[in-house]
Amino acid sequence: MTAHFQNIGIISKSADPSVAETLATLLSFLEQRGIPALLDESAAASVPNPTAPVVSREELAARCDLAIAVGGDGTLLNAARSLADAGVPLLGINRGRLGFLADVLPADMTGCLDRVLAGEYQEEERTLLHAEVLRNGECLHRSDALNDVVVHKYDIARMIELETHIDGRFLNTQRSDGLVMATPTGSTAYALSGGGPILHPTLSAIVLVPICPHTLTNRPIVINDHATIEVILHGGSTTEAQVTCDGQVKFPLDRGDRVRVCRKEKTIRLLHPPGHDHYEVLREKLRWG
């Protein structure tokens, strides 16, 4: 039987010995079925003397028709940002702690992959955000995020002051520790810790969640994901803040900087085992009754 996917890229948590055994099992599985594998540099670092080609993330995205991320949700977030533009579907093997996104357990990996390779899987399109930092009209930094874009203070005890606009319309000025702008995927991450709602992954929405606001009536708000959000950093010369994407890509902000956030045109294709149930995942991970 011909496999549904012909070239598979493998991405893993960087410099983590806990993924080595899972990677070895995965590579052996693919070799036995005659399916070529490509390793990115992070995966190759955990495989002694790899026989599979080691390529850059860009080349992996261009050459594979399925990518497998071995690690936690952070590994999958990192992989998603680099694969979305190429339209490569992504499957997560959970070697982390929570596993909202990387939902295949190592013990179930080979059985699950047999079904995926036979074309038996569920596919979801997940929205990403695109963020730009503007200073005096010039774009200094841009990045994507599958979970969230966060403007927040760092290394200081005092609050920061943010002015938020949606589609050019003034929303509010807030003094807080920051602001989380999250996709439905990211609604169960930092936004949830800040008291935000859980959004179903299929919703076309962005949730804005203030972090420890000075005014307690400043509550989370959900908007259409076709909107453009602009956050302006106010404050004096001692203001220290930064913008982060998925908690992994960081850029320092100066007073007067504008962080512009909108929905990314491309989506990421997430694959799940047959029978995947979003509500079951919520019950398990959040320990609901």
Q: What is the pLDDT of residue 49?
A: 86
Question: Encoding tokens for residue 267?
Answer: 């989506």
Count H helices and E strands in the chain, helices first. Answer: 7, 18
Active-site residue, selected from the candidate residues 16, 40, 65, 73: 73
Look at the alpha carbons of 150, 155, 157, 159 in this order and tell me if their dihedral is positive or negative.
negative
Averaged pLDDT for residues 223-246: 92
Q: What is the pLDDT of residue 238?
A: 67
The tens digit of pLDDT for each residue in 128-173 reads 999 999 999 999 999 999 999 999 998 778 899 999 999 999 999 9
What topology is assigned to 8-126+267-285 in CATH?
Answer: Rossmann fold (3.40.50)
**Residues sharing a CB contact under 8 Å with residue 68, sequence separation 6 or more, in sequence order:** 8, 9, 10, 11, 26, 90, 91, 92, 93
The tens digit of pLDDT for each residue in 106-131 reads 999 999 999 999 999 999 999 999 99
The tens digit of pLDDT for each residue in 32-76 reads 999 999 999 999 999 888 899 999 999 999 999 999 999 999 999
Mean pLDDT lowest among 3-12, 58-67, 171-180: 3-12
Helix, strand or coil for residue 96?
Answer: coil
Please indicate whether residue 254 is annotated as part of the active site: no
The CATH number given to 129-263 is 2.60.200.30
**What share of the chain in percent tops pLDDT 70?**
98
Q: What is the pLDDT of residue 1?
A: 44
Considering only CA atoms, which of 96, 75, 82, 14 is closest in space to residue 47?
A: 14
Query: Does the pLDDT of residue 3 top 80, yes or no?
Result: no
Q: What is the pLDDT of residue 62?
A: 96
Query: Does the pLDDT of residue 13 top 90, yes or no?
Result: no
Q: Helix 109-117 vs helix 20-32: angle between axes, to the nearest 10 degrees?
A: 40
Q: What is the pLDDT of residue 54?
A: 96
Dist CA 88 CA 97 (whole Å): 25
Average pLDDT, the chain: 94
- Give the residue range(s) of CATH 2.60.200.30 domains in the chain: 129-263
Q: What is the pLDDT of residue 2?
A: 53
Dist CA 149 CA 250 (whole Å): 10
- Give the residue range(s) of CATH 3.40.50.10330 domains in the chain: 8-126+267-285
Residue with tokens 């005659």: 34
Cβ atoms 47, 20 nearer than 8 A: yes
H-only helix segments in the chain: 20-32, 41-44, 57-63, 73-83, 109-117, 190-193, 278-285
Please state the length of the chain: 289
